[in-house]
Amino acid sequence: MTESALRPRKANGAKPSHRGEWVLHLALTVTAVLMVAPFAWQLVTAFKTTGEASQSPPTLWPAEPTGDAFATFFDSVPVWSQFTVSASALALRVLGQLAVAALAGYAFARLRFPGRTLLFGLFIAMLMVPSQLFLIGQFELIRDLELLDTIPALAIPGMFSAFGIFLMRQAFMSIPTAYEEAARLDGAGPLRTFWSVMLPMVKPTLGALAVLTSLYSWNDLLWPLIVSPRGDNRPLTVGLAGLQGQYGTDYPTLMAGALVASLPLIVIFLVLQRQFFNGIASSGLKG
Amino acid sequence: MTARTAPPPARRRRAGGLGPSPWWGYAMIAPAFIGLAALYLWPFLKTFAKSFMDTPAFGPGTWTGLDNYTDLLGDGDFWQAFGNSGIYTAILLLGVPIATVLAALIQQISRGRAVYRVLYFLPVVTLPVAISMVWRFIYNGDFGLLNWVLSLFGVQGQYWVADDAYAIYAIGVVGIWMSLGVNLIILGAGLQSIPPELYEASSMDGAGRVRQFFKITLPLLSPSVFLVTVLTVISALQMFDLVFVMLRSVDNTALDGSKTIVYLFYEKAFVQFDQGYGAAIAVVLLLVIMLATVLQFRLQRRWVFYD
């Protein structure tokens, strides 16, 4: 979507804008340095000793680079099990979200049934309410289902989102009805039409929804804090937040931990940039 | 009479022609409906009800009418949290013009766009908890990077996140840094829809970049700027993670004077288990967000340009 619009602009706009372009690059580069500096500082600190990290004035490069901080982090936090919890909750939430949103989005876009407009309006109204208003009731439901401290508890509320349904509905609405008519003439039922004709055509939107959901799931802190009171099955965010209480001034360990916990999603982002950008652009929704 | 009875069969036939029985529709929205009803609609009504109740940690609550709300109005902590969220939101709004200018700059360059977009987006895909830890270290009063850089310019450093006088501003700066990437993408999508011919025509008329920015980009981009502004206010009023990580000391309480509304809500409802009071805070937050959003839609007529 953005790409097709990008190309002609590039060709048209290139000629007049070359002159003096270095000024723009200068401004953008200075900003980029400010954007990246905290990451660079984190990286440098992670390879320092605790003593060196607490020196004033700080050293810009570790005197004797060491991986001790990473060792301390892996020794004191059950990184692998928390990583597994984060990853499982993410997978469950993304799959659930895609299934629920695609089915409902298709029904709202294409099927006719009494009460459709009213129900859709009800769903959309939920978008306006800040998420904190749901937390108490969601917590009680999870508790009553005896799901506290489990992985499904982390994933379940995030599977259902009015936003996902809205996004999928828009995607299905943009597809010409001729495809469905052809499928029906071939004798395909509604479920089959949905699965083998319509779903493949909204793959880009499914991708965008999947990466956005992954982002929210991996980064979420408040909900995991609430539903893992005992501490079994805590995701990396909660483990990392707890690390600070334990190693309040051991900055290399904190930086190493922050780096390890963030890395998976950063890597995914670097691979799937376009999906991230499309997701954000089509949603305009922030975490 | 005949006119009134005629349409239904026709409609039914049309519906039959377009698709199968309505039960398919109900079946396909059933998972979404059950989930949203159980996890959103019902909790919403419950929270609303609880805000009018006194809720002990265990056992059923009792109706107390508006008591929670009158308590809130007399609660200094609440007003302080409210003020802090307001300051934080105001600071984040400063990020909107910054993002607008940067988006326009990126649009103007002929190569390297993708690199800038990726670099500016990195904070968006990094764990907020991790970001908070890194910034907490940078803000450290004794050996933090910021104070060292400031000292090079002869500026006296501060205990940025250990002092209520500075903490919410320090967090606001991080908030701008964190949200820039998202704002750039939304504004970038808006910039794509401005016809390039406009720029070419005005270049031939001798308009410079700055003039083009104010005369073409800004008016035509204003709907996107409006969207970003509305979203910024909504999300800034709900800020939680940064306070939770950056301002907590080892004894697990945030700086008292720098809590935000949602932090206070979390503390009341899930640490002190005073759900009724927490619910009242959440309902007030909903009202504030609604009011802020309605107000912005009212004001948009003054500055948003739709063609």
Same domain, yes or no, for B32 and B150? no
Residues 59-88 of A with CB under 8 A from B: none
- Could you tell me if A262 lies within 8 Å of chain B, comparing CB atoms? yes
Structure tokens at B109: 């360059």
Same domain, yes or no, for B44 and B99? no
B61 within a domain of the structure (yes/no):
no
Residues 86-125 of A with CB under 8 A from B: 99-101, 103-104, 106-108, 110-114, 116, 119, 122-123
Which of A18, A28, A106 is the closest to B28 by Cβ? A106
Which of B108, B197, B286 is the closest to A17 by Cβ? B108
pTM: 0.86
Place of tokens 């893992």: A228
The residues that bridge with B147 in the sheet, in sequence order, are: none
The residues that bridge with B254 in the sheet, in sequence order, are: B248
- Could you tell me if B120 lies within 8 Å of chain A, comparing CB atoms? yes
- ipTM attached to this prediction: 0.85
Rounded Cα gap, residues B101 and B182, in angstroms = 14
- Angle, vertex CA B98, rays to CA B202 and CA B210, nearest 5: 20
Number of domains in chain B: 2
Same domain, yes or no, for B35 and B91? no
Torsion angle, CA of A249/A253/A259/A261, rounded to 10 degrees? -100
Same domain, yes or no, for B41 and B83? no
Structure tokens at B104: 């326009």
B58 within a domain of the structure (yes/no):
no
Same domain, yes or no, for B38 and B153? no
pLDDT band per the 50, 70, 90 thresholds, residue A10: very low
Structure tokens at B167: 């903490």
Instruction: List the domain boundaries for chain A.
Output: 18-73, 78-283
- Quote the DSSP letter at residue A59: P
- Kindly give the residue spans of alpha helices, DSSP state H, lying in chain B: 2-5, 7-18, 22-36, 42-50, 67-73, 76-108, 113-121, 128-138, 145-152, 167-192, 196-204, 209-212, 218-236, 241-246, 261-266, 275-303
Smallest CA–CA separation between A6 and chain B, in Å? 7
Q: Environment class of residue B210 by beta-carbon count within 10 Å: exposed (0-12), middle (13-18) or buried (19+)?
A: exposed
Chain B residues within an 8 Å CB radius of A6: 192
Same domain, yes or no, for B87 and B152? yes
Contact A112 B22 (CB under 8 A): yes
- Could you tell me if A7 lies within 8 Å of chain B, comparing CB atoms? no
- Could you tell me if A190 lies within 8 Å of chain B, comparing CB atoms? yes
Contact B148 A251 (CB under 8 A): no
Which of A21, A56, A266 is the closest to B142 by Cβ? A56
CATH of the domain at B271: 1.10.3720.10
CATH entry, A78-283, from 2.70.98.20, 2.40.50.100, 1.10.3720.10, 1.10.1660.10 = 1.10.3720.10
- Could you tell me if B206 lies within 8 Å of chain A, comparing CB atoms? no
B254 within a domain of the structure (yes/no):
yes
Which of B20, B38, B282 is the closest to A133 by Cβ? B282
Q: What is the pLDDT of residues A207-224, one digit of tens each?
A: 999 998 999 999 999 899
Contact A135 B269 (CB under 8 A): yes
The distance from CA A53 to its chain's CA centroid, rounded to whole angstroms, is 32
Contact A35 B36 (CB under 8 A): no
Identify the three-state secondary structure at position B63.
Answer: strand
Residues of the domain holding B88: 75-303
Which of B120, B227, B289 is the closest to A32 by Cβ? B120
Same domain, yes or no, for B214 and B159? yes
Q: Are A206 and A102 in contact (CB under 8 A)?
A: yes
Same domain, yes or no, for B236 and B122? yes
pLDDT in tens, chain B (307 residues): 344 444 444 444 444 445 568 888 999 999 999 999 999 999 999 999 999 999 887 777 889 999 999 999 999 999 999 999 999 999 999 999 999 999 999 988 888 889 999 999 999 999 999 999 999 999 998 889 999 999 999 999 888 988 888 999 999 999 999 999 999 999 998 898 888 888 888 888 888 888 889 989 999 999 999 989 998 999 999 998 888 888 876 455 667 788 999 999 999 998 898 999 999 999 999 999 999 989 999 998 888 887 6
Distances in whole angstroms, Cα of residue A45 to Cα of each of A38, A54, A55, A121, B149: 10, 10, 11, 51, 16
Distances in whole angstroms, Cα of residue B179 to Cα of each of A131, B175, B232: 19, 6, 8
Reported residue count of chain B is 307
Rounded Cα gap, residues B52 and B68, in angstroms = 7
- Angle, vertex CA B189, rays to CA B183 and CA B191, nearest 5: 100
B64 within a domain of the structure (yes/no):
no
Same domain, yes or no, for B165 and B271? yes
